[in-house]
Amino acid sequence: MGLHNIEYTGWTMHVRSLGVTALVWAAALAVSCDDDGDGGPVTADCEDGHCECTGNECVCPSTGDCDIDCLGDCDLECAGSGDCTFVCGDGCSTSCTNSGNCHVEVGDGGTVECAANGDCHITCLAQCSVLCTGSGECNVTCDDGSPPIECSGSEIACGSCAPA
> Which element (helix H / strand E) includes 68?
strand 66-70
Give the SS3 label for residue 18.
Answer: coil
Q: Give strand pairing partners of 39.
A: none
Q: What's the mean pLDDT when you consider all of the chain?
A: 75
Q: Tell me: pLDDT of 16 over 50.
A: no
What confidence score (pLDDT) does residue 24 get?
22
pLDDT band at 41 (very low <50, low <70, confident <90, very high): low
> Could you list the residue range(s) of the whole structural domain that residue 152 is in?
41-157
Inside any domain, residue 19: no
Lowest average pLDDT, out of 44-48, 67-71, 156-160, goes to 44-48
Inside any domain, residue 22: no
What confidence score (pLDDT) does residue 143 get?
95
Inside any domain, residue 57: yes
How many whole angstroms separate alpha carbon 81 and alpha carbon 51? 12
Q: How many helices (H) and strands (E) does the chain have?
A: 0, 16
The count of other CB atoms within 10 Å of the CB of residue 90 is 16
Inside any domain, residue 6: no
Inside any domain, residue 20: no
pLDDT, tens only, 58-92: 888 878 888 888 877 789 999 888 899 999 889 99
DSSP string for residues in 100-145: S-EEEEE-TTEEEEE--SS-EEEEESSSEEEEE-SSSEEEEEETTS
What confidence score (pLDDT) does residue 155 get?
95
Q: Is the dihedral of CA 37, 41, 46, 50 positive or negative?
A: negative
Q: Give strand pairing partners of 44.
A: 68
pTM above 0.85, yes or no: no
- When divided into structural domains, the chain yields a total of 1
Q: Tell me: pLDDT of 25 over 80.
A: no
What confidence score (pLDDT) does residue 131 get?
95
Give the SS3 label for residue 158.
Answer: strand
Strand order in the sheet with 137-142: 4-9, 12-17, 137-142, 120-124, 102-106, 84-88, 66-70, 42-46
The residues, ordered by sequence, that sit 6+ positions from 9 with a Cβ below 8 Å of its Cβ are none
What confidence score (pLDDT) does residue 20 get?
24
In this structure, which amino acid lies at residue 36?
A: D
Inside any domain, residue 132: yes
